[in-house]
Amino acid sequence: MKLDFVGTYAFNRSLQVNSAGLQRELSKVQTELATGRVADIGSALGYQTSRSVNLEAQIDLFDQIKSFNGVLTNRLTTMQDAMNSIVDGANGFMGEMGAAIGGHMDRSVLQGFGDKLLGTVTQFANATFNGEYVFSGVNTDVKAVIDFQGADWDAAKQEIEDAFQAHFGFASSDAQAATITKTDMETFIDGPYADLFNDTNWNQMWSGASDRGVRSRISSREIVENPVTANDAGFRKVVSAGVLLQFMAGTSAGGNALNAAAESAMTQSANGLNDLANSQGRLGVIEQRVSDAQDRIAIQKNLLNEQLNSLIGVDQYEVATRLNQLVINLEASYAASSKIQSLSLMNYL
């Protein structure tokens, strides 16, 4: 006789239990709809939770590298532009010198050529980017080439003078200097003078640059080293050419000797131009690598975004449909509650 009846308490309570469940589900769906992500990532992913964290971090990292690469590209462009200017300066120097050689060597003209070349080199080899000297390698706080004035220049000139005296046996300003033959001068230039621009002396007298270039990350796996510093042969040769003219113009050397200096300066800057072209080429390779890396990063980032989305994203349409269904369910449950509550024998007695 009991079988036909259900406990009234259980009967009423079942509606409460059901609508509580629906409401819980509803709040979850609302969160998902608002954020576009599953409501509880950790609980939904379990052992894959760290993947979602890592994917987000990687996407951030790619954004970061992308902006680094933008900065690096600008830096490389600055370097290319500066080197173009040096190349232009050296070309101009050679044109002017070519016209002068053979004729009478006027000291002040030579001095002027030297000054102009050195001025160009100083200006552009000491180009800065973000307050860093771009041709100084890792020693970004030191000038790549000394200013050709002041204490550094005086010290350097003294070294050349010492080398001159050691080679010829008299000071450069001595009247005997006028007797130096062309061959003697060539021997001096190729020997003691050239030594002043070897690896050790270059860094002591002329430049604060390091051999090591700045290293930068251009993609998640690649770190590239900037291949060009002022220690490259091109810079040295051009500086050497300019200094040679500057110095010789201040000596008492005769026409033949001056001619030898002028010819050597021509040769050196010609060689220097060749080397600068090489350096520019190497820089260009890096520029290309950076630009390739940028393209790859864009692709990788898209892939990662897709992965992240498939991991924690929700289908908005599906969620919206689910929301609708839940609302309908809940309304039906409320309607049923009120009907059932009013359905009691008490009302008819």
Footprint of another protein (CB under 8 A): 2, 5-11, 13-14, 17, 37, 40-50, 53-54, 57, 60-61, 64-65, 68, 71-72, 130, 132, 136-141, 210, 212, 214-217, 223, 344-346, 349
**Residue for token pair 């898209």:** 302
Report which secondary-structure segment, H or E, holds 60.
helix 49-100
The DSSP bridge partners found for residue 132 are 129
In the bound state with another protein, the residue whose beta carbon lies nearer, of 11 and 183, is 11
Dihedral (CA of 8, 14, 19, 21) sign: positive
CB of 291 to another protein, least distance (A): 17
In the bound state with another protein, the residue whose beta carbon lies nearer, of 118 and 297, is 297
Q: What is the distance of C-alpha 233 from the center of its chain? A: 23
CB of 20 to another protein, least distance (A): 10
CB of 83 to another protein, least distance (A): 18
In the bound state with another protein, the residue whose beta carbon lies nearer, of 37 and 116, is 37
Contact 75, 129 (CB under 8 A): yes
In the bound state with another protein, the residue whose beta carbon lies nearer, of 142 and 171, is 142
CB of 224 to another protein, least distance (A): 11
**Residue for token pair 């406990």:** 7
Q: Which long-range contacts (CB under 8 A, 24 or more apart) does 162-168 make?
A: 163/188, 163/192, 163/193, 163/195, 163/196, 164/188, 164/192, 164/251, 166/192, 167/191, 167/192
In the bound state with another protein, the residue whose beta carbon lies nearer, of 267 and 333, is 333
CB of 58 to another protein, least distance (A): 8
